[in-house]
């Protein structure tokens, strides 16, 4: 079985002292709500965190205030187009952005997401499609 590594991001900003978490509405390959995630680039997890946040949510590196490894991986398997089973191992990170950070999915080169928002934790948790992402959200807060 082929294994793909990557990152899964619980992203938040503080607005008037309260945390608001990032959620994205996916429309490529499947429809639903998710946290930002993506394939590992050059075996550099921190570089990948910054790149995926920029690509998927339009949040540049200058708006990132803190990146923390959650020491928790999301793992799942799927069947690719050729019928081969693939295992994904995505390392979880929590990312704090500046209050000025905003979501812009229009620059995503893969057009994966329709929109995105910063919302209250309980609202994000109620919308997330996959349980493992809900668990990661709980670990991060």
This prediction's pTM:
0.93
Cβ contact 10:67 at 8 Å = no
Residue 93, Cβ density class (10 Å: 0-12 exposed, 13-18 middle, ≥19 buried): buried
> Nearest Cα to 107, choosing from 33, 51, 39, 34?
51
pLDDT in tens, 60-74: 999 999 999 999 999
Tell me whether strands 113-119 and 64-79 are parallel, antiparallel or unpaired: unpaired
pLDDT in tens, 23-39: 999 998 889 999 999 99
Torsions phi, psi of 61, nearest 5? -55, -35
């Amino acid at each position: 079985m082929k294994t793909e590594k990557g990152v899964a991001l619980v992203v938040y900003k503080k607005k008037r002292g309260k945390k608001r978490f990032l959620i994205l509405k996916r429309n490529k390959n499947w429809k639903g709500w998710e946290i930002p995630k993506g394939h590992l680039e050059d075996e550099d997890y921190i570089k990948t965190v910054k790149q995926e946040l920029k690509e998927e949510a339009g949040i540049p590196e200058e708006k990132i205030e803190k990146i923390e490894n959650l020491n928790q991986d999301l793992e799942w398997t799927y069947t690719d187009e050729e019928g081969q089973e693939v295992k994904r191992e995505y390392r979880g990170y929590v990312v704090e952005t500046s209050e000025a950070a905003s979501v812009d999915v229009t620059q995503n080169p893969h057009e994966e997401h329709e929109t995105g928002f910063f919302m209250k934790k309980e609202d994000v948790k109620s919308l997330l499609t996959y349980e493992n992402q809900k668990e990661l959200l709980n670990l991060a807060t």
